[in-house]
């Protein structure tokens, strides 16, 4: 298999601080691997506390002294639309670099680049159209909300769809007038470095956007603990989220965290089986299974269980695994050898916990690279580790159920609560089940398609807070209530009586 290496790769990936590309002050670097060969292809600057301090200082200056927070919403919106235009004009290049860096199939990476542009358009429009509350107490008082940006936002993003997820945080943070320090995941720093030129060309002033590469334990930790960073938005593992929560506590920071998932897809006997198969196969094997909202547990009603498992396994066995740059590829290579080892360890655990009906190892003909054959386990018990724990790869557990009550207990019987997918043509059941399921987002007879106005977030171990639409605006702004009296202020008159001495 010939492996495609993009032209014009950087000689080194640097930080971007106060409008300039810079190395770490102490010269620290780390290797970035190509996920198809697992060979280092570039070194990236490894940010330390001193580099984070420098980036936060630049962001703080741009917030207190610079024009960005004081621009009219329309002026900021124009810049955001220019960012979207620039992302769209180079979407093919972005997708090529993203695929090279992450191992995501090229057709899916292209879709992610286009979504990134749409995220900027959406928030550009929202800040211009935004309205806030005003209340009038006739003849007495007017109260209104004065919304203002908070300051420096620390954005910490994962490696699974890095460019798109960075846009999801950058767009609302910048739209509302904050300045940012972005710390992208260390496995995939390549596409993040493109933001610097895109934002500069679009007219974002120096210091408004800063990028510090590095390890979570070093750069991420310093950002979370920095006293001048009042907001942290994080997407990643629940364990890391717990650590961030603890480290942010002494500073009482605003936290928005979208964490892991073990989302159920519940297929009732009255569902449209063909559509349910399409959606549930795509729902766990798209993006190489490396997606927080993956429907990685499929619960199937007993009358259709055997047929469903058989047809699902056949589809999984026919998924095209191969070079991420080949448009025919449906599943590419996992992001990193460490992650490959984790997923493969779950495949081995699963062999003792369920009936293996597809996959179960490395695909034939792919001797190197982080390739995992799409793997399907049937008859998985609810206490199995592959039922309970997030694998974050092309591995799925299928479990039968007999009653609606049992389906609900199985769906809710994990620590996570991000998404749920429900397949039924019974209207009453559809709504009752959706409302009873412990998930931040539910899709009924639908694939994971999102309207950007809706809240995005999870319950239980899947997150804290919501983003999306106005909820993102709420997170990135302070809402100050201003009260004005229209006539005399009627206050109780303390201290107006002459003191009488008492014996």
Tell me the two tokens of residue 445: 């007879």
- Which are the contacts of 502, defined by CB distance < 8 A and separation ≥ 6? none
Is the separation of the CB atoms in 440 and 466 below 8 Å?
A: yes
On the CB side of 37, CA atoms within 13 Å amount to 12
CA distances (Å), origin 428, targets 264, 282, 319, 446 = 19, 27, 35, 17
Selected catalytic residue, list 258, 301, 330, 390: 258
Three-point CA angle 469, 454, 59, nearest 5° = 30
Tell me the two tokens of residue 242: 């717990």
Choose among 458, 442, 459, 454: nearest CA to 266. 442
Is the separation of the CB atoms in 466 and 456 below 8 Å?
A: yes
Is the separation of the CB atoms in 219 and 51 below 8 Å?
A: yes
Residue-wise burial string across 228-253, b where 16 or more C-beta atoms lie within 10 A, e elsewhere: ebbbbbbbbbbebbebbbebbeeeeb
At 319, give phi and psi (nearest 5°): -65, 135
- Answer yes or no: 488 catalytic: no
Choose among 446, 451, 444, 401: nearest CA to 422. 444
**Residues with a known catalytic role:** 258
């Amino acid at each position: 298999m010939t492996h495609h290496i993009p032209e014009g790769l950087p000689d080194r990936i640097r930080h971007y601080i106060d409008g300039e590309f810079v190395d770490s002050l102490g010269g620290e670097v780390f290797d970035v691997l190509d996920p198809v060969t697992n060979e280092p292809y570039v070194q990236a600057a490894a940010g330390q506390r001193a580099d984070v301090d420098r980036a936060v200082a630049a962001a703080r200056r741009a917030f207190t002294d610079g024009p960005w927070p004081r621009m009219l919403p329309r002026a900021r919106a124009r810049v955001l639309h220019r960012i979207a235009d620039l992302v769209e004009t180079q979407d093919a290049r972005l997708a090529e670099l993203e695929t090279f860096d992450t191992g995501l199939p090229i057709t899916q990476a292209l879709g992610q680049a286009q979504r990134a542009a749409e995220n900027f358009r959406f928030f550009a429009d929202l800040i211009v159209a935004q309205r806030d509350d005003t209340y009038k107490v006739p003849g007495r008082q007017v109260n209104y909300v004065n919304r203002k940006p908070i300051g420096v936002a620390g954005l910490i993003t994962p490696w699974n769809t890095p460019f798109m997820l960075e846009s999801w945080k950058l767009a609302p943070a910048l739209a509302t007038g904050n300045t940012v320090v972005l710390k992208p995941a260390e496995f995939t720093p390549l596409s993040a470095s493109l933001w610097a030129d895109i934002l500069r060309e679009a007219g974002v002033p120096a210091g408004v956007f800063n990028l510090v590469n590095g390890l979570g334990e070093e750069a991420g930790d310093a950002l979370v603990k920095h006293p001048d960073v009042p907001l942290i938005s994080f997407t990643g593992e629940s364990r890391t989220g717990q650590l961030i929560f603890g480290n942010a506590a002494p500073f009482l920071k605003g936290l928005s965290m979208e964490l892991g998932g073990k989302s159920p897809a519940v297929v009732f006997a009255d569902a449209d089986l063909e559509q349910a198969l399409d959606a549930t196969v795509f729902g766990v094997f798209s993006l190489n299974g490396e997606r927080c909202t993956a429907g990685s547990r499929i619960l199937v009603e007993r009358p259709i269980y055997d047929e469903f498992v058989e047809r699902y396994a056949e589809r999984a066995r026919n998924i095209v695994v191969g070079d991420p740059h080949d448009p025919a590829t449906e599943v590419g290579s996992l992001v990193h050898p460490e992650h490959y080892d984790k997923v493969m360890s779950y495949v081995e655990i699963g062999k003792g916990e369920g009936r293996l009906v597809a996959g179960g190892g490395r695909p034939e003909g792919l001797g190197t690279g982080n390739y995992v054959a799409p793997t399907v386990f049937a008859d998985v018990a609810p206490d199995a580790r592959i039922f309970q724990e997030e694998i974050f790869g092309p591995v799925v557990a299928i479990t039968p159920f007999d009653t609606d009550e049992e389906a609900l207990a199985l769906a809710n019987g994990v620590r996570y609560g991000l998404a749920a997918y429900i397949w039924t043509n019974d209207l009453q059941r559809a709504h009752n089940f959706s409302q009873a399921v412990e998930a931040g987002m539910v899709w009924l007879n639908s694939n994971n398609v999102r309207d950007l106005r809706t809240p995005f977030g999870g319950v239980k171990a899947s997150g804290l807070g919501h983003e999306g639409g106005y909820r993102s605006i709420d997170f990135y702004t302070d809402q100050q209530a201003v009260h004005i009296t229209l006539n005399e202020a009627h206050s109780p008159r303390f201290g107006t009586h002459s003191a009488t001495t008492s014996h």
